[in-house]
Amino acid sequence: MAKFTVQPGVVIDGFVLGECVHRGGMATLWSACREDIADPVLMKIPRVSEGEDPAAIVSFEMEQMILPKLTGIHVPRCYAAGDFVRQAYVAIERIPGKTLYPRLEELPLPYEEARVIALKIADALSDLHRQNVIHHDIKPSSILFRPSGEAVLVDFGLSHHNQLPDLLQEEFRVPYGTAPYMAPERLLGVRDDPRSDLFSLGVLLYFFTTGVRPFGESETLAGMRRRLWRDPYPPRQLKKDYPPWLQEVVLRCLEIDPAWRYPTASQLAFELAHPEQIKLTARSERLKRDPLSTVWRRRFNGNPIQPRKPSAVAAQLAASPILAVAVDLTEGPAEMNEALRVTVARILKTSPLARLACLNVLKLGRVTIDRTLDEEGNNKHVSRLVTLKHWASPLKLDESRLTVHVLESVDPAGAILEFAEANHVDHIVIGARQNSLVRSLLGSTSAKVASEASCTVTVVRPARQATPSGTRDTPDDARSMPAI
């Protein structure tokens, strides 16, 4: 049991407590400092007095296990943790600024501002899921932003780590979470699906753009269970000027069956980063909820959520990669473009949930003034977008899985690398430049991309032409390598 009286001035494992900055239902937060840590520290201490919810202790144990394993800009740094033998606590980085909670007084927010906020949260979730963690408590008070703009996720007491024991699952049968944001499958005991976080983000985006919670304010379990069969009112019924692309995103996140949502947070972030290329479906135009016949079928004909075989979070992310292919539309020979298409088709065949981004770089002069029109008076940028779509058409991809992008830059390799980093690209396919004086002097774009990318890169060479004797050299179709 705790041997400390928690109050300002108390020293716990070298940390000197300051003021109490927040008293929550499961823990209190204190400012703290330690001589060897220059940055501000926040100490989280669980509530363990008589009458407190036992789940608070289990939740704190989960946070103690998970926080030290997390890294990156989207989570607070964990400095130390104490056990329940002396004094349970976690000491973490204190992020300057406020959470999203005070913004509730300003709702609804402008659509563009809400889009940017949701994009930053989706980026943070993408990073978290890649670390095998599902947050399970995405809500305004669990999200704040660094001065540099990145979203930071806090409060991991309800989280699930794919490689650690799930104490909440093992010890309790009641789903814990914040009712308005809880995904339907959570009510059925499912805690290992990262798409649950996308549902919660959809709730937040709906709320921030309409000022109304999609499922009301009900906190009862019976009220929450209605979302297993009842969809929310489409935002366009509430706001006539609601953008169709935004309703498409929100309603896809709020699908009852996780299989109908975005497969990964990375793909959701990609959509939010490129709203002009979102494939609109019937969701985008809906003005009414599903008819009662559909609701009754969901409610009385069995579980509407399709069963899913247990799988690792990492395995699910690997099945839904973002693939980028760099296509040279000006100097690239037909053989190269065909080799790129064949390689991309092979990769897509193994990943049926993958998204493909077709890239072309419109190279700008370093000192010259670039013309936007070609010799025939056509806009170069638009012409290349059309040509990229034509290049991709033989792949026969659904439009929801395909986007095309013309990047303008003096440095093609740098533009490709920047796009890949900003859009969570998992795999880049690029053609190797043929032997030339330019390549010998400056190096190739593909070599720079392969050496500097933070994802897998496949460098493609076209099949060699037949030799004079009629034989054909064995082609070096593609060389795949992880980035160095």
Reported as a pLDDT band with limits 50, 70 and 90, residue 474 is very low
pLDDT-derived band at 428, boundaries 50, 70, 90: very high
Q: State pLDDT tens for residues 199-235.
A: 999 999 999 999 999 998 766 777 888 889 999 999 9
Q: Is the pLDDT of residue 367 over 80?
A: no
State the pLDDT at residue 472.
36
pLDDT (0 to 100) of residue 335:
84
pLDDT tens for 112-126 read 999 999 999 999 999
Q: What pLDDT is recorded for position 92?
A: 96
Evaluate if residue 297 carries a pLDDT over 50.
yes
Whole-number Å distance between alpha carbons of 21 and 9: 14
Q: Is 53 helix (H, G, I), strand (E, B) or coil?
A: coil
- pLDDT tens profile 368-386: 545 556 556 667 777 888 8
Among 25-39, 163-177, 255-269, the range with the most confident prediction by mean pLDDT is 255-269
CA angle 30, 200, 107 (to 5 degrees): 80
Cα(17)–Cα(42) distance, integer angstroms: 9
CB-count burial class (<10 Å; 0-12, 13-18, 19+) for 271: buried
| Confidence (pLDDT) at 437 | 46
d(CA 56, CA 113): 35
**Phi and psi for 261 in degrees, rounded to 5?**
-85, 180
CA dist 278 and 244 (Å) reads: 10
Which CATH number is associated with domain 101-300? 1.10.510.10
Residues 216, 350: Cα–Cα separation, whole Å: 41
What's the Rg (C-alpha) of the chain? 26
Q: How confident is the model at residue 240 (pLDDT cuts 50, 70, 90)?
A: very high
Domains of the chain by residue range:
11-93, 101-300, 321-482
Tell me the pLDDT band of 442, cut-offs 50, 70 and 90: very low
Top pLDDT among 175 and 338 is at 338
**What is the pLDDT, as a whole number, of residue 378?**
66
- The class (CATH top level) of 11-93 is alpha beta
DSSP characters over 66-115: HGGG--STTSPPEEEEE-TTT--EEEEE--SS-BSGGGGGGPSPPHHHHH
Mean local confidence (pLDDT), 430-448: 66
Q: Averaged over 448-467, what is the pLDDT?
A: 80
Asked whether the predicted pLDDT for residue 157 surpasses 60, the reply is: yes
pLDDT of residue 478: 53
Task: Kindly report, residue by residue over 61-73, the tens digit of the pLDDT.
Answer: 899 999 999 999 9
Query: What pLDDT is recorded for position 401?
Result: 87
Classify 159 as helix, strand or coil.
Answer: coil
Give dist(CA 123, CA 217) in Å, integer. 28
pLDDT band at 317 (very low <50, low <70, confident <90, very high): confident
Q: Is the pLDDT of residue 417 over 90?
A: yes
**pLDDT tens-digit readout, 80-106:** 998 877 788 999 999 998 899 999 999
Of residues 383 and 476, the one with the higher pLDDT is 383
Closest CA to 260 of 283, 243, 242: 283
Between residues 217 and 271, the one the model is more confident about: 271
At 47 the pLDDT is 79
Residue 50 is which amino acid? E
Of the listed ranges 40-44, 172-176, 248-252, 344-348, the one predicted with least confidence: 172-176
Residue 260: half-sphere exposure toward Cβ, Cα within 13 Å: 15
CATH assignment of 321-482, given 3.40.50.620, 3.50.50.100, 3.40.190.10, 3.40.50.360?
A: 3.40.50.620
Burial of 268 (0-12, 13-18, 19+ CB in 10 A): buried
For 2-42, give the DSSP string. --S---TT-EETTEEEEEEEEE-SSEEEEEEEETTEEEEEE
Q: How far is CA 373 from the centre of its chain?
A: 37
Cite the DSSP H helix spans in 97-178. 111-130, 167-171
- Res 17 pLDDT > 90: yes
Lowest-pLDDT range of 155-159, 172-176, 462-466: 462-466
> What distance separates the 2 farthest-apart alpha carbons in the chain?
90
Per the prediction, the chain carries an average pLDDT of 85
Token reading at 223: 């009220």
Share of the chain above pLDDT 90, in %: 51
Cβ neighbours of 150 (radius 10 Å): 14
Determine the average pLDDT of the residues in 182-196: 92
Q: What is the pLDDT of residue 134?
A: 96
